[in-house]
């Protein structure tokens, strides 16, 4: 199922599935990095794909990147 994501659908997903807030106001595709505000107050950038599929829903301080194998 290929769902067409809009900025409003992404904002709703972020509000319902994380403690972060979406700060970006435009969405141009899956490779675009979006700006989020973490619950701790830090801003961070992630693509929506990583945010949604990889559970990377916090800043690098609250959720450090996984160490490469």
For the chain, the DSSP string reads: ------HHHHHHHHHHH-S-EE-------TTSEEEEE-TTS-EEEEEHHHHHHS---S-TTTSPPPPP-
pLDDT of residue 1: 40
pTM for the model stands at: 0.86
Query: Residue 12: is its pLDDT beyond 90?
Result: yes
pLDDT of residue 62: 92
pLDDT tens digits along 48-64:
999 999 889 999 999 88
Q: What is the mean pLDDT of the chain?
A: 90
Query: Residue 68: is its pLDDT beyond 90?
Result: no
């Amino acid at each position: 199922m290929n769902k067409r994501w809009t900025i409003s659908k992404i904002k709703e997903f972020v509000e319902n599935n994380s403690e972060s807030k979406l700060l970006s106001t435009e969405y141009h595709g899956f490779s675009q990095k979006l700006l989020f505000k973490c619950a701790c107050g830090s801003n961070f950038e992630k693509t929506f794909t990583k945010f949604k599929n990889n559970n990377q829903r916090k800043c690098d301080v609250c959720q450090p990147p996984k160490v490469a194998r």
